[in-house]
Amino acid sequence: MSDIQDKNVARAAKLDTPTLSDALDKLGILGQCYKIKPRSSDFRMAGRAWTLKYGPAAKPCGTVGDYIDDVAPGSVVVLDNNGREDCTVWGDILTEIAHRRGIAGTVINGINRDTHLCLSLGYPVFSIDNWMRTGKDRVQVEATGVPVNIGGARVAPGDILKGDTDGVVVIPKEHEDRVLEVAEAIEAAESRIREAARSGMRLDEARQLNKYHSLQTREGA
Q: Which residues pair with 46 in a beta bridge?
A: 162
Assess whether 153 and 188 both reside in one domain: no
Q: At what angle do helices 176-198 and 17-26 cross, to 10 degrees?
A: 120
The identity of residue 21, as a single letter, is S
129 with 152, same domain? yes
Residue 163's φ and ψ, nearest 5 degrees, are -130, 145
SS3 97: helix
Instruction: State the greatest distance between any 2 C-alpha atoms of the chain, in Å, as a whole number.
Output: 70
Q: Are 152 and 167 in contact, with CB atoms under 8 Å apart? A: no
Please report whether residue 151 resides in a domain.
yes
pLDDT of 1 above 70: no
What does the pLDDT average to over 75-83?
A: 98
Do 148 and 114 fall within a single domain?
A: yes
Query: Is 60 exceeded by the pLDDT of residue 14?
Result: yes
Structural domain span for residue 187: 179-214
Residue 125 pLDDT > 70: yes
Is there a single domain that holds both residue 117 and residue 201? Answer: no
164: nearest Cα among 50, 48, 12 = 12
Per residue in 107-116, pLDDT tens?
A: 999 999 999 9
Q: How far apart are CA 179 and CA 175, in angstroms?
A: 6
Cross-strand pairs, 127: 37
Same domain, 198 and 106: no
Contact 174, 2 (CB under 8 A): no
User: Residue 93: exposed, middle, or buried by beta-carbon count in 10 A (0-12, 13-18, 19+)?
Assistant: exposed
Number of domains in the chain: 2
What pLDDT is recorded for position 219?
Answer: 78
pLDDT at residue 205, as a whole number:
87
- Give the CATH number of the domain where residue 48 resides: 3.50.30.40
Global pTM reads: 0.94
pLDDT by residue (tens digit) across 165-191? 999 999 999 999 999 999 999 999 999
Q: Which pLDDT band, with edges at 50, 70 and 90, does 20 fall under?
A: very high
